[in-house]
């Protein structure tokens, strides 16, 4: 039985046995209240803060100073249908407390906990997840909930994922969240060029930036203004020029639905063989016109085993092209692919391969380990 359950009972509960009497937490001295709150997990603190104005004030007063040096990391998903907020704290990072807040106008059998917010039961079976319901506008609900959390905890945004259309006022609010510098941003927006430009012109770097964006005026956007360190992903990329991709400063990139043509790939391979080195290490590029990887090179290749991800280089034969064929399992489907390893005269290796759906994968290998490496380019596990 949780500590909070001992303190709070249903209002209509009238069991007078001594073992079931609620604990009079509000009658305790301040120091005892502080100790009592320290026994609560985040869910219990939040639910306790929603019991009354007095409990809310008590939590804000006693917790904010204590948590200032131990801020929560918050991961946020906002879509038109639901809001997800996950809390973690550094010293116990393996535990995550998650709120799933869904839009639902039917209020029967739910307890109102805040304006427009309802819940079935705080004491659910899953200790680390709670499901709430709201009636009204998604962003208004999010703002109300995040403002309440802000009154209780110090926090920093670790991941922000947006998948909804924003009004100008909502866009302005989201821009304030960007000022909190979330290192991971997954962003879907089709109507607000000014918001996207604000993302792209940030002075600070994202660690990961994933966008699905259809700009009204592509000419005003420049990929080289984007500051991303580890991984950049764009699902609608007709606004990205081939020249911008060639000079983009990010370790790993994935760009889909590009306007590139097969000759662009031939140019990139030729320039690499002549000594050009991109800043990125791996790239996944989607080109609808691209169908046959064999047409990208003029060399007579040496065929090698394509099933071995790490294959020793045969006799360290520099300046040659090695061709391989194999399959990759995606979901329940086995997809064939073909590719090449190129060894430049300075020993650097370029690996590229294409799957039948038009996606081409490039990997630059700079380590002098004298083996071919085959990397399947994908973003790591996401929280949402």
Residues 159, 287 within the same domain: yes
The reported pLDDT for the residue numbered 312 is 62
pTM here is: 0.74
Region 254-262 average pLDDT: 88
Domain boundary pick from 292, 311, 338? 292
Sign for the pseudo-dihedral over CA of 241, 243, 246, 249? negative
Each residue's pLDDT tens digit, 17-40: 555 666 677 788 888 888 888 888
Range of the domain at 100: 72-292
What's the N-to-C CA distance of the chain in angstroms?
30
- Answer for the pair 354, 290: CB distance below 8 angstroms, yes or no: yes
Residue 73 has pLDDT above 50, yes or no: yes
Residues 252, 303 within the same domain: no
Domain boundary pick from 292, 318, 337? 292
Q: How many domains does one find in the chain?
A: 3
- How many helical (H) and strand (E) elements, i.e. helices and strands, does the chain have? 9, 19
The reported pLDDT for the residue numbered 368 is 59
The reported pLDDT for the residue numbered 48 is 86
43 located within any domain: yes
Specify which residues 83 forms β-bridges with.
78, 101
Alpha helices in 222-380 (DSSP H): 242-247, 262-273
Residues 229, 312 within the same domain: no
Specify which residues 212 forms β-bridges with.
188
Residues 282, 298 within the same domain: no
The reported pLDDT for the residue numbered 74 is 87
- Answer for the pair 209, 232: CB distance below 8 angstroms, yes or no: yes
Residues 234, 308 within the same domain: no
Closest CA to 285 of 186, 207, 352: 352
The reported pLDDT for the residue numbered 357 is 62
Each residue's pLDDT tens digit, 351-384: 888 876 667 888 887 655 555 666 555 444 445 4
Region 35-48 average pLDDT: 83
More confident residue, 157 or 7: 157
10 located within any domain: no
CA dihedral in degrees (140, 144, 147, 153; nearest 10)? -130
185 located within any domain: yes
Domain boundary pick from 68, 90, 125? 68
The share of the chain scoring above pLDDT 90, in percent, equals 1
Residue 9 has pLDDT above 80, yes or no: no
Residues 104, 228 within the same domain: yes
Residues 287, 297 within the same domain: no
pLDDT band at 12 (very low <50, low <70, confident <90, very high): very low
pLDDT band at 60 (very low <50, low <70, confident <90, very high): confident
Cβ neighbours for 198, distance < 8 A, ≥ 6 positions apart: 175, 178
Residues 109, 145 within the same domain: yes
The reported pLDDT for the residue numbered 14 is 46
Residues 234, 282 within the same domain: yes
183 located within any domain: yes
pLDDT band at 253 (very low <50, low <70, confident <90, very high): very high
Residues 155, 279 within the same domain: yes
Region 278-291 average pLDDT: 83
Region 276-295 average pLDDT: 82
Radius of gyration of the chain (CA): 27
The reported pLDDT for the residue numbered 28 is 82
369 located within any domain: yes
Both tokens of residue 333? 């489907």
Residues 252, 335 within the same domain: no
13 located within any domain: no
Residues 234, 125 within the same domain: yes
The reported pLDDT for the residue numbered 10 is 47
Each residue's pLDDT tens digit, 123-139: 555 678 888 888 778 88
Q: How do strand 282-286 and strand 252-255 relate by DSSP bridges?
A: parallel
Going through the chain in order, the beta strands assigned E by DSSP cover 72-79, 82-89, 97-103, 111-114, 117-119, 129-134, 155-163, 184-189, 206-213, 228-234, 252-255, 282-286, 302-303, 310-312, 321-330, 333-343, 349-355, 359-365, 371-373
31 located within any domain: yes
Among 16-25, 145-154, 210-219, 340-349, the minimum mean pLDDT is found in: 16-25
């Amino acid at each position: 039985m949780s500590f909070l359950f001992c303190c709070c009972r249903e209002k209509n509960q009238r069991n007078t046995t001594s073992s079931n009497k609620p604990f009079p937490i509000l009658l305790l001295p301040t120091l005892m209240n502080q100790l009592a709150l320290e026994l609560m997990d985040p869910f219990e603190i939040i639910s306790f803060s929603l019991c009354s104005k007095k409990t809310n004030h008590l939590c804000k007063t006693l917790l904010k100073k204590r948590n200032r040096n131990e801020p929560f990391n918050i991961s946020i998903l906002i879509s038109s249908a639901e809001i997800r907020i996950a809390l973690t704290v550094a010293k116990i990072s393996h535990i995550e407390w998650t709120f799933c807040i869904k839009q639902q106008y039917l209020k029967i059998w739910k307890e109102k906990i805040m304006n427009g917010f309802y819940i079935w039961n705080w004491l659910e079976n899953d200790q680390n997840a709670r499901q709430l319901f709201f009636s009204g506008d998604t962003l208004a609900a999010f703002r109300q909930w995040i403002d309440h959390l802000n009154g209780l905890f110090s926090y920093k945004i670790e991941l922000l994922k947006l998948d909804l259309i924003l009004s100008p006022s909502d866009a302005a609010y989201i821009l304030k969240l960007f000022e909190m510098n979330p290192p991971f941003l997954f962003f879907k927006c089709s109507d607000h060029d000014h918001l996207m430009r604000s993302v792209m012109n940030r002075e600070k770097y994202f660690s990961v930036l994933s966008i699905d964006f259809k700009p009204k005026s592509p000419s005003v956007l420049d990929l080289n203004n984007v500051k991303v360190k580890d991984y950049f992903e764009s699902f609608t990329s007709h606004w990205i020029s081939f020249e911008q991709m060639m000079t983009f400063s990010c370790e790993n990139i994935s760009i889909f639905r590009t306007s590139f043509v097969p000759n662009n790939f031939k140019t990139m391979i030729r320039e690499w063989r002549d000594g050009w080195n991109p800043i990125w290490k791996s790239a996944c590029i989607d080109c609808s016109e691209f169908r046959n990887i064999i047409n990208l090179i003029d060399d007579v290749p040496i065929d090698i085993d394509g099933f071995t991800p790490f294959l020793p280089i045969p006799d360290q034969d520099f300046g040659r092209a090695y061709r391989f064929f194999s399959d990759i399992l995606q979901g329940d489907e086995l997809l064939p692919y073909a590719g090449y390893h190129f060894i430049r005269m300075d020993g650097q290796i370029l690996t590229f391969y294409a799957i039948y759906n038009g996606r081409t994968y490039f990997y630059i290998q700079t380590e002098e380990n004298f083996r071919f490496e085959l990397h399947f380019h994908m973003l790591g596990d996401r929280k949402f």
